[in-house]
Amino acid sequence: MTGLALYIHWPFCKSKCPYCDFNSHVRAGIDEARWRDALLRELDRGAAETQGRELVSIFFGGGTPSLMAPPTVAALLERAAARWSLAPDIEITLEANPNSVEAARFRDLAAAGVNRLSLGVQALDDTALKFLGRGHDRDEALAAIDLARAHFARFSFDLIYARPGHTPAAWQAELREALRRAGDHLSVYQLTIEQGTAFHTAFARGDFVLPDEEIQGALYEMTQNMLGDAGLPAYEISNHARAGQESRHNLAYWRYRDYLGIGPGAHGRLTLGGVKYANANHRAPETWLAAVERDGHGAATRTALSRDERRDEMAMMGLRLTSGIARADMRAETGGDIEDAFDRARLDALIGGGFLELDAAGLRATPAGRQRLNAVLDRLLN
């Protein structure tokens, strides 16, 4: 049996950032003991279904899981250790916001077993942080990075570029500073305007404009070049790491391995009895909580995936990686080679156009292909 990754979703935030379309919610107060018990219950249920698997990573995402009391994190980790065997080098990541940071909390989270921190820094510029609706300023972000370095063997932080008025000169200075502060991993996202967010309304109203395509392209190129030169090349569209320091948990998604998701809105891909299932939990926190308390799990849907669906999902995830889709992985998932899995004429057209590469190792998107991956996938799969 292959390893298993575990995702735990904590859906609460202090405030809602205007660009965010994650399943995150602001509540005046919550009964944390009730939430802990529900997460433990759903974890037990998932463990019962996946007995005999080794847990290779755990990821606390959100929302803002650094708002969880450290004893809640400790209880979940203790239960996971009691229910599964843990890989000796298990990666346990928790997402944190600089405004929910205190030294004691970081120390306690590390003592509970968290060994990797992912910090939502987003910018090192106070004007940009204000625009992004972040609850922290630059000094708090820098202090949080120092604390992460002090308490965790591995840490990463996120940055968002292509903000209104963002110039290559400003981004270069910000990236230089980020590199001086970085550990072995950085996540760098281009600002996008998502449906249903406050930015979507404000952008439609004309409250702000984004840099044009030429500047966006220059900022992207600069990111690739500067981080690559500093030994942190991209291993995924938005993620950069030194060799061996990639997020193992996120690699499980991109390599289309099995993962169990617990908490509101969490998704999973689980192979049970030789069939791969897509699981999706109820998104609304209170609906999920009531379902778990009633049924022992918060699943809204569980769907067996067909061979074509698995191939499509593998392409959507694997082509995000610089290394692409390994031949052995496609064979294990679909029983066939990459050449048989996809329509040959479409594959050849995308290879001929310089967007995909196919060789003995597997199929990958070229840098040009990764820059317009949605269009490439559309051509390949639809």
Count CB-CB contacts under 10 A for residue 55.
Answer: 21
Among 4, 20, 162, 341, binds ligand SF4 (CB under 6 A): 20
Q: Report the distance separating Cα 267 and Cα 27, nearest Å.
A: 23
Q: Report the distance separating Cα 215 and Cα 220, nearest Å.
A: 9
Q: Which amino acid is at 154?
A: R
Q: How far is CA 90 from the centre of its chain?
A: 17
Size of residue set near ligand SF4 by CB under 6 A: 11
What lies within 8 Å, CB to CB, of 82 at 6+ separation is: none
Q: Does 13 bind ligand SF4 (CB under 6 A)?
A: yes
- For ligand SF4, the closer of residues 115 and 197 by Cβ is 197
Stretch that binds ligand SF4, among 17-25, 65-73, 108-116, 369-377 (CB under 6 A): 17-25
- For ligand SF4, the closer of residues 286 and 340 by Cβ is 286
DSSP letter for 100, please.
G
What are the helix (H) ranges across 103-212? 103-112, 126-131, 138-151, 168-181, 198-204
| Strand 4-10 versus strand 259-262 pairing type | parallel
Instruction: State in angstroms the smallest separation of the CB of 280 from ligand SF4.
Output: 18
Site for ligand SF4 in 280-309 (CB under 6 A): none
- For ligand SF4, the closer of residues 17 and 128 by Cβ is 17
What are the helix (H) ranges across 152-284? 168-181, 198-204, 213-229, 248-254
Among 64, 156, 223, 271, binds ligand SF4 (CB under 6 A): 64
- For ligand SF4, the closer of residues 63 and 70 by Cβ is 63
Among 24, 50, 93, 156, binds ligand SF4 (CB under 6 A): 24
- Helix (H) or strand (E) segment spanning residue 297: none
Among 3, 16, 230, 290, binds ligand SF4 (CB under 6 A): 16
Among 97, 239, 247, 271, binds ligand SF4 (CB under 6 A): 97
- For ligand SF4, the closer of residues 200 and 242 by Cβ is 200
Q: Report the distance separating Cα 231 and Cα 249, nearest Å.
A: 21
Q: Does 17 bind ligand SF4 (CB under 6 A)?
A: yes
Q: Does 62 bind ligand SF4 (CB under 6 A)?
A: yes
Q: Report the distance separating Cα 271 and Cα 281, nearest Å.
A: 17
User: First-to-last CA distance in the chain?
Assistant: 33
Tell how many helices (H) and how many strands (E) occur in the chain: 16, 15
- For ligand SF4, the closer of residues 65 and 211 by Cβ is 65
Q: Does 148 bind ligand SF4 (CB under 6 A)?
A: no
Stretch that binds ligand SF4, among 9-17, 52-60, 137-145, 296-304 (CB under 6 A): 9-17
Answer whether 297's CB lies under 8 Å from 45's CB. Answer: yes
Among 9, 40, 63, 299, binds ligand SF4 (CB under 6 A): 63
Q: Does 22 bind ligand SF4 (CB under 6 A)?
A: yes
- For ligand SF4, the closer of residues 198 and 351 by Cβ is 198
Backbone angles phi, psi at 37, to 5 degrees: -65, -40
Answer whether 194's CB lies under 8 Å from 200's CB. Answer: yes
Instruction: State in angstroms the smallest separation of the CB of 105 from ligand SF4.
Output: 16
Stretch that binds ligand SF4, among 56-64, 102-110, 215-223, 290-298 (CB under 6 A): 56-64
- Interaction site with ligand SF4 (CB under 6 A): 13, 16-17, 20, 22, 24, 62-64, 97, 120
